[in-house]
Chains A and B, each alone.
Chain A
Amino acid sequence: MSSGILDLASLTGAGLTAGLADARTANPVGTILVVDDLESNARLLERMLVSDGHRVLIAHDGLEALERVRVDHPDLVLMDVLMPTLGGFETCRRLKSDPATRLVPVVLVTALQEGGDRLLGLEVGADDFICKPVTSQELTARVRSLVRIKRYTDDLDTAESVILSLAMTIEARDATTEGHCQRLSRYGVDFGRTLGLAPEEIAALALGGVLHDLGKVGVPDAVLLKPSRLTREEFVIMQQHTLIGDRLCGELRSLRRVRPIVRHHHERLDGSGYPDGLRGDAIPLLAQIMSVVDVFDALTAVRPYKLAVAAEDAYDELFREADRGWRRRDLVEAFVALEPGERS
C-alpha cells in the first residue's frame, strides 16, 4: 500500500556524494598551479603534469600565486619554497588561513634538505612536501592522489549545499513558516552557549535549526499544508519527516552531529514521542534542546490559523509539558532564563 510519501529513501546525502565522487574521481586530472621563480623548474613540472593530462597554470612568486588561486580556483598548488617577494611558506600560510582558499591542497617543492623546513611546511598547513629532484612518476602519483581528495572535498561541499537548499524549500512550500528555520538556528545557538556546550555542538544546533524539518520535502502538500487538524493517517505520514530527514543527511560526515537532531527532535522523555519512542537520557541532548526552541517558536509565531501566543504563555506551555514528563524541566528553566534579547 502506498503511504503517500515520496520515495526519497535512495536519495541520501551519502548517495549523492558517492554518485558525484564516482563520476568525478575516476580520472583525477585537474588544474594545477605551479609556482616557481625559476622558469626552467616551472616548465619541467609543467611538462610532467601536462603529459599526465593536467592543465597547468604558472606563477612566478607568492603574490602572483595568491592572485591566480583567487581568480582561477586551481585544484592543487605546487610551490617552490625559496622565492623573491613572498616565499612558499608565507604564501602557503596565507592560502590556508583564508576560508576561500584553505581547502586547495598545497604541495611545497624544494631543493632544501633541512628537516626543519619540512616541519615548518607542515606548520603553515602544507598538505605535502616533495624534495628535488622530482621524478615524473612520483610527482604524478602524488598529484593524482591530492586531486582525487580535492574532488571528494568539493563533492562533500556540494552535497551539503544540496541538502541545505532542499531544507530551504520547506519554507518556500509553506509560507506560513517563513523565518522559522533561521529563528531556530539563532535560538539554538544562544541556548547552547548558555548551557556551555562545546563549539562543535553549537555549530550542530545552528545547522540543526535549518535542517530539523528537512524530511518534510517527502511529505505531500495535502498533509503538509492542511489548514485543519490532521487525521490519524495523515499524522502518521507527517511523523515520517523525521526518518526521511535522517536518511537524506545520510552518511555525510559534516552532518553527523546534526542527524540526531533531525531524527529525534519530536521524542519525549516519557517515550510517547516519535519516531523511536526513546525515553529519558536516550534522547540526544541536542535534539531535546531543538525540541524546546521548536515548540517555543511554533507557539509564538503568527500563523494564518492562529494568533501568536505571548512568550509568557509559551513558557507556561513548556512547563506544562515538563510536568507531563515530556521534557526536562531544567532545560525549560534554562531557556526561560535566557535574556529576551538572546531569543529575538
Chain B
Amino acid sequence: MADATRSFDRWLHDVRNQLSIILGFSEILLQELEGDDARRHDLQEIHDAAERAMGAMGRVPQKEDESGR
C-alpha cells in the first residue's frame, strides 16, 4: 500500500512538473507577444488548458497511506 501511495505521488509530481513547464513557457510567450498578435488567442488557449489541468490535478483524491493519513 505504501509503495502504491509513493508511486501515485511520484506520478502526480511528474505530471505537475510537465504542466508547470507548459504553463511557464506559455506565460513567457504571452508576455512577449505584441497585443495584437494573431497567435495570442491560440497561445492563451494552451495556457488556460494547462491551468485547468493543473487545477484538476489538485482535485485528484489523495490515496490514504497505511497510517490512514
Contact = CB atoms under 8 A, between A and B. Distances in A.
A310 interface: no
Contact of B24 (A51, A113, A134): A134
Interface residues of A, number: 18
Contact of A132 (B20, B28, B58): B20
Interface string B34-63: 000000000000000000001000100000
A82 B13 contact: yes
Given A82-B13, A133-B54, A111 B28 contact: no
Interface in A168-184: none
Interface in B3-45: 9-10, 12-14, 16-17, 19-21, 23-25, 27-28, 31
A112 B14 CA distance: 9
Given A48-B24, A111-B12, A134-B24, 19 more contacts: A38-B21, A44-B25, A44-B28, A47-B25, A48-B28, A51-B28, A82-B10, A111-B13, A111-B17, A112-B9, A112-B13, A113-B16, A132-B17, A133-B19, A133-B54, A134-B20, A135-B24, A136-B27, A136-B31
Interface of A: 38, 40-41, 44, 47-48, 51, 82, 110-114, 132-136
Contacts of B9: 112, 114
Instruction: Count chain A CB atoms within 10 A of each CB in B10, B24, B25, B27 and give the residue with the most.
Output: B24
Contacts of A133: 16, 19-20, 23-24, 54
27 contacts: A38-B21, A41-B20, A41-B21, A44-B21, A44-B24, A44-B25, A44-B28, A47-B24, A47-B28, A48-B24, A48-B28, A82-B13, A111-B13, A111-B16, A111-B20, A112-B9, A112-B13, A113-B12, A113-B58, A114-B9, A132-B16, A132-B17, A133-B16, A133-B20, A133-B54, A134-B20, A136-B24
A29 B12 CA distance: 34
A82 to B, nearest CB: 6
Contacts of B12: 111, 113
A50 to B, nearest CB: 11
Instruction: Count chain B CB atoms within 10 A of each CB in A111, A113, A134, A135 and give the residue with the most.
Output: A111
Nearest to B54: A133
Interface of B: 9-10, 12-14, 16-17, 19-21, 23-25, 27-28, 31, 54, 58
Instruction: Count chain A CB atoms within 10 A of each CB in B19, B20, B21 and give the residue with the most.
Output: B20
Contacts of A51: 28
A82 B24 CA distance: 19
Contacts of B54: 133
A226 B57 CA distance: 80
A257 B7 CA distance: 53
Given A112-B9, A113-B12, A114-B9, A38 B17 contact: yes
A328 B37 CA distance: 83
A135 B31 CA distance: 12
A256 B68 CA distance: 51
Contacts of B31: 136
A40 B18 CA distance: 9
Contacts of A111: 12-14, 16-17, 20
Contacts of B10: 82
